[in-house]
Structure 1
Amino acid sequence: MSESTTDTGLLDVVIVGAGVTGIHQLYRAREAGFSVRLLEAGTGVGGTWYWNRYPEARFDSERYTYGYLFSQELWEEWEWTEHYAGQPEIERYFNHVVDRFGLRSDILFGTRVGSAVYDEDRGTWTVTAEDGTTLRTRFLVAATGVLSVPFVPDIEGRADFRGEQHHTARWPRTPIDFTGRRVALVGTGSSGVQIVPAIADQVADLTVYQLKADWVTPLNNRPITAAEQARLKADFERIRATLDTSPSGFLHEINPQNGADVSAEERQEFYEKIWNSPGFTKLTEHYRDMTFNPVVNAEWCDFMAAKIRGIVADPETAEKLVPKDGGYGARRPPFGTGYFEAYNRPNVSLVSLPDDPILRITEDGIETGAGLREFDIIIWGTGYDFGTGALNRLGVRGAGGLPLKEYWADGPRTYLGVAAAGFPNLFFPGGPHGALGNNPRYAGDQVEFVHRALLHAREHGHDVIAVEPAAEKEWTDLMNSSDSMSIFQRSSYFYGANIPGKAVSQLLNPTGRWKLQELIREVEENDYATFDFSKARRRPA
């Protein structure tokens, strides 16, 4: 074990995960003078944007709504080249932030956490990594993210395949040469939609295995002009104020108009405008009643279906690409560039898994009822164990040795999506029950809340911060009883329904950002009454 990883003293804070949330928490801890270390399993920073480096991986949130707002100087000195930045640029940004603020010296790379055990008497956590690194800390912040643990379906024969296999969320740092290769892509979520057109002109042939069609709409990305750069820099204070209060976490303007209140001709003109609008504006700036008025939603879906049929030349393939099991917004919508157009290439084909399911993986390829197709590479774009996946793999044991994974067996139980009863001094900003929009903005609210709670404890001489069980129950019950406020189907990964054996439960915050911010204000104004601040029974050894 190297000298830099053997701090035997008691730290104030240990953070797990060097993604957007963990870096933010590290910055705040350093700024406040806390002794802190951040443990990162990878060899670099960026979290999702370190691990996901497949071809054409990129934001589908505008880059300036995703980055940090805690420094005007950082905002003004960093220039993004596109409205929706690609992975290499995103990774450079996070490295710039870490070096700009001198945070790298407090990050232990290649350090995957294997266990975190709470000592009730001393009010401390012992965090042990798989390489033997052990740190003791007063407070543990698990900034492990909701999109951290890739899911690969357990299909017979998968281990027997003699070619290459890659999950989009664990892409190798060395670029893969697709030239002349026979490639299978399993999964057509956001990652699959991005990767199809990115490799279609390189491969000998590409076969896409689709479990469910999604309402894919154009990302409509473009470079940021010099004039736009100047406006963005000049408007920092206004932009920050908007993003700090926006319910979606975007700069988008809410459309107050209902589709039912205008003529059919006006709606068609509006749909064309929305189709050509960028990214998530197709949800956030759509008619106010689009997500809950079935007539307007169905009409918008008919418009998109006509677009798909107009782009994809083969009618049979086009019909497979048109969703039949839910309206727009029922699942997290992907945004693509040239996705449907790729199916007009003679070397790209689509297999609808409900019609022709995978029977097994062989040494040479993928076998369905229609027969065996041979491949050199299989890409798994099959998503994540969303929300609780990473936290449940940290080996967390709270008061009385209670495993977090066991405590959450029937779904997460949290308070404000940031803490759990029975796990004192543990916080997980950016985890389950936190977001319903642009994740970094919601997680940023939680980071700042955690930071202020730590300052409060220090100022009042407290060692232990514990959530009151009644407060946890009230928040968790609110999350689980608010499905009607969410547009997502219970069959989506936002409920954990994609993971065999996982309890299907609410993993988002359907009440939205304003409710989260309102309760955070109430907690702080009431001197953290929903938490028990106390001194540890014994001093650390």
Structure 2
Amino acid sequence: MSTAAEAPAETADIVVIGAGFSGIYALHRLRGLEARVVCFEAGDGVGGTWYWNRYPGARVDIESMQYSYSFDEDLQQEWRWPEYFSPQEDLEAYANHVVDRFGLRERIRFSSVVNRLRYDEDENRWHVHTDRGDHVVCRYVVAATGSLDATNIPRWPGVESFGGQSYHTSNWPKEGVDFHGKRVGLIGTGSTGIQVTPVVAETADHLYVFQRTANFSMPSRNRPLDPDYEREWKDNYPERRAKMLQSASAGLFDMPDRSVFDFTPEERERLMEEAWNSRSGFRLMRCFTDTARDIAANDILAEFVRNKIRQTVRDPEVAELLCPNTHPIGTKRICIDSGYFEAFNRDNVTLVDVRTNPITAVTPGGLVTTAGSYELDILIYATGFDAMTGSLTRMNVTGVGGRDLRDKWRDGPTNYLGFLVAGFPNLFMIHGPGSPSVLAQMITGGEWQVDWVVRFIENMEKDGRTRVDTTPDWEDRWAVEMEKAADMTLFKRADSWYMGANIPGKPRVFMMYVGGFDQYIRRCTEQVESGYAGFVRTA
């Protein structure tokens, strides 16, 4: 299983897997326990998502003043964000600044892929192995592996035969890629493909965008950060951070309590137009409260966006292909963009509909669909991830009785409160299935989850307990609660990666808690305060 000779086993108290924003914060918090902590990171730098995803146009879709750490007031005040929506390079720089400012780098073992996690019942210890031969024996594992880590490349015939350059967007070369004079094929029009398209179109000889599913996207209206806006946020950070923890999205977004149907067609058109033209078109999604659960209300919002696409794209046939009509708006990840739809007005950009005419093969010279072939020099896979579960299942995790996590999750990812999996004691997940994950602002959500885990471990130690597990019964109870929350929304109407629908053979299960981040906090807190209901803690 290892690609290097295995070193003698070493001991630690806690292993953290991943040095993204949640893993970095976990290292910082766990240091306060005076524990022996080791962090393994697959990359040669920190930042997680913002280390790996350095593709052209990569940018966060949450305002920078919110998408940042809250745990240190000096850090909040000293860091300067140049733009409203930060690009990848600024977010990676921020991660590096935090790691160095708080002296965390020496605790991280870079370029170390965890490829085996084995729980030993007799020892009550986890054995953690890496591809470099590390073998660490520890009591607790904090899996800060993220939701979008395990890359997905469809298995078309001939994928390995392509003679040009090919890249998955999550493993982009640091030195960049030169598109000048090149025929480029981009597969995928999710949030990544939407960001990549206008940037590549600027220099490529020709860009072919292969679209299976049209997606909703709204203008980011990104711009340099106004110093007065920054100052106003920094002056009010404590109050605003508290409010973020009381919101459904772990962020501050105005959401008036009103229905689409409270207004005449003319009035709601005006309100939607104002939201579309605000500092972020993303505000449109919070214009009315019933569009996430009422299909009739959702249809009105969706048609407004489709009309914006029709107004933007000059070719009517291309515009209709770009209009999403396979899922309600908001049930797949909403994107914000900088000129995506405008890119299809360029003479060097061609939209290829692969829903009607699927890709059948990759050849040494390009791609083949049922309608024709395309000669390409560069192939870009914006084909996403084995989301939510892949980062853990690919690590070969075995728990009590040697049970493989892949077998445990064969019919879907069971868990309790998004933190624990029955039969895998002392293994805590951050942003894993069963948590709000990507449906809440990730840095704030990760901070809260890490704080919860650290308090839990502190209480375990104080109470003389050394092992915590849950039971299948409590997993089932949480699954029912998650299902009820999802059934109140329209999410299940979409074949999305939220449901595992992008991975052939993956069970179709809605994997996130959609009851709201504020309610998630309440439920986790209640269960601990009611005598650790659902947790089996033993000495």
The TM tier, using the shorter chain, reads over 0.9
Q: How far did 1:526 drift?
A: 2.4
Q: Is the 8 A contact 1:6 1:135 kept in 2?
A: no
SS of 1:390's equivalent?
helix
CA–CA separation in structure 2 for the residues paired with 1:330 and 1:506: 11
Deviations 1:309-354 (A, max 9, x none): 1111111111111112222113111111101111111000000112
Instruction: Establish whether residue 281 from structure 1 lines up as the match of residue 286 from structure 2.
Output: no
Superposed, 1:487-526 pairs within 5 Å as 487-488=490-491, 489-526=493-530
Are positions 1:58 and 2:62 aligned together? no
Q: CA RMSD in A?
A: 1.6
Distance in structure 2 (CA, Å) of the matches to 1:443 and 1:36: 18
- Structure 2 vs 1, CA of residues 63 and 199 (structure 1 numbering), >3 Å: closer, same or farther? same
Aligned 1:361-372 pairs, distance under 5 A: 361-372=362-373
Which residue identity does 1:229 align to in structure 2?
A: E
Report if aligned partners of 1:434, 1:442 keep a CA contact under 8 Å in 2: no
Q: Which moved more, 1:184-193 or 1:454-463?
A: 454-463
Residue 136 of structure 1 aligns to which amino acid in structure 2? V
Cα deviation for residue 130 of structure 1 reads: 1.0
The SS at the match of 2:352 is strand
Q: Which residue of 2 aligns with 1:486?
A: 489
Once residues 490 and 265 of structure 1 are traced to their aligned partners in structure 2, the CA distance between those partners, rounded to angstroms, is 29
Other-structure match for 2:155: 154
State the match for 1:539 in structure 2.
none
Specify whether residues 7 and 452 from structure 1 end up closer, same or farther in structure 2 by C-alpha distance, changes over 3 A only: farther
2:457 aligns with 454
CA displacement at 1:146 relative to structure 2 = 0.7
Which position in structure 2 is the counterpart of 1:257? 258
- Within the candidate set 455, 473, 477, 2:476 is matched to 473
Moved over 6 A (4+): none
Q: Distance between the aligned counterparts of 1:310 and 1:490, measured in 2?
A: 25
8 Å contact kept, 2:326–2:494: no
- 1:155-170 pair list within 5 angstroms: 155-170=156-171
Partner of 2:22 in structure 1? 21
The DSSP-based 3-state class of the residue aligned with 1:166 is strand
Q: Would you say 1:88 and 2:92 are equivalent positions?
A: no
**Once the 2 structures are TM-superposed, how far is the Cα of residue 290 of structure 1 from its aligned partner?**
2.0
How far the C-alpha of 1:202 sits from its partner, in A, is 0.4
Of 524, 527, 531, which residue of structure 1 is paired with 2:531? Answer: 527
Partner of 2:269: 268
1:421 is aligned to 422
* TM-fit CA distance, 1:466: 1.6
Which residue type is aligned with residue 533 of structure 1? R
Deviation per residue, 1:73-99 (Å, 9 max, x gap): 111111111111000000000001111
TM-score with structure 2 setting the length: 0.96
Relative to structure 2, which stretch is displaced further, 196-205 or 226-235? 226-235
One-letter code of the match for 2:365? Answer: D
Asked if 1:218 is matched to 2:226, the reply is: no
2:102 alignment partner in structure 1: 101
The alpha-carbon distance between structure 1 residues 470 and 368, as it changes in their structure 2 partners (threshold 3 A), is closer
The equivalent of 2:192 in structure 1 is 191
Q: CA deviation at 1:281?
A: 2.2
Q: How far has the Cα of 1:8 moved from its partner?
A: 4.7
Contact 1:10 1:138 in 2 (8 A): no
SS in 1 for 2:66: helix
In structure 2, runs of 5+ residues without a counterpart are none
**Would you say the 8 A contact 1:155–1:361 is kept in 2?**
yes
Counterpart of 1:308?
309
Matched with 2:398 is 397
Question: CA contact under 8 A between 1:182 and 1:204: conserved in structure 2?
Answer: yes
Q: Is the 8 A contact 2:7 2:133 kept in 1?
A: no
Once the two structures are TM-superposed, the CA of residue 359 in structure 1 deviates from its matched residue by 1.9
Preserved contact between residue 54 and residue 172 of structure 2 (Cα < 8 Å): yes
SS at match of 2:379: strand
- After the TM superposition, which of the residue ranges 243-252 and 342-351 deviates more from structure 2? 243-252
CA shift for structure 1 position 11: 1.2
Distance 1:293 1:503 in 2: 26
CA contact (8 A) 1:485 1:510 kept: no
Partner of 1:117: helix, strand, or coil? strand
State the 1:407 CA deviation: 0.4
Q: Name the amino acid aligned to 1:465.
A: V
Say which SS state the counterpart of residue 351 (structure 1) adopts: strand
3-state SS of 1:172 partner: coil
Q: CA deviation at 1:178?
A: 0.8
> Residues of 1 paired with 2:240 and 2:147: CA distance?
26
Q: In 2, Cα distance between the equivalents of 1:378 and 1:187?
A: 11
Residue 124 in 1 paired to residue 125 in 2? yes
Query: Secondary structure of the equivalent of 1:64?
Result: coil
CA contact (8 A) 2:157 2:362 kept: yes
State the distance in 2 between where 1:453 and 1:52 align. 32
Residue 279 of structure 1 and its aligned partner are, at CA, apart by 5.2
TM-score, with structure 1 as normaliser: 0.95
User: Where do 1:381-396 residues align within 5 Å?
Assistant: 381-396=382-397
Quote how far apart the aligned CAs of 1:292 are: 2.8
2:291 equivalent in structure 1: 290
Aligned to 2:446: 443
Q: Deviations over 1:355-383 (max 9, x none)?
A: 22212111101112332210000001111
What is the identity, as a one-letter code, of the residue corresponding to 2:508? V
* Matched-pair contact (CA < 8 Å) for 1:480–1:505: no
Aligned to 1:538: none
Once residues 221 and 465 of structure 1 are traced to their aligned partners in structure 2, the CA distance between those partners, rounded to angstroms, is 46
- 1:366-405 CA-to-partner distances (Å, cap 9, x unmatched) read 1123322100000011111111010111111111111111
| CA contact 2:218–2:282 (8 Å) conserved in 1 | no
Q: Is 1:360–1:366's contact at 8 Å kept on the other side of the alignment? A: yes
Counterpart CA distance in 2 for 1:133 and 1:452 is: 28
- Aligned AA for 2:464? G
Amino acid at match of 1:63: S
| Structure 1 counterpart of 2:22, one-letter code | T
Alignment partners' CA distance in 2, 1:365 and 1:10: 50
What amino acid sits opposite 1:157 in the alignment? Answer: G
Contact 2:386–2:503, Cα closer than 8 Å, also in 1: yes
Which deviates more, 368-377 or 103-112? 368-377
Q: CA, structure 1 residues 228+172, in 2 after alignment: closer, same or farther (shift >3 Å)?
A: same
Q: Is 1:432 paired with 2:433?
A: yes
Larger mean Cα displacement after TM superposition, 468-477 or 398-407:
468-477
Counterpart residue identity of residue 272, structure 1? E
Aligned to 2:361: 360
1:481, CA displacement in angstroms?
4.3
8 A contact 1:197–1:337 mirrored in 2:
yes
**Partner residue of 1:31?**
32
Q: What is the CA–CA distance in structure 2 between the aligned matches of 1:428 and 1:255, rounded to whole Å? A: 34
Residues 433, 506 of structure 1: 8 Å contact kept: no
Query: In terms of mean alpha carbon deviation, does 249-258 or 178-187 score higher?
Result: 249-258
Structure 1 486/302 Cα, relative in aligned 2: closer, same or farther at 3 Å? closer
- Code of the aligned partner of 2:465: H
* 1:228 aligned counterpart, secondary structure: helix
Q: Structure 2 CA distance, aligned partners of 1:311 and 1:520?
A: 45
Task: Provide the secondary structure at the position in 2 that maps to 1:56.
Answer: coil
Say whether the 8 Å CA contact 1:58–1:84 is kept in structure 2: yes
Q: 2:215 is matched by which residue type in structure 1?
A: D
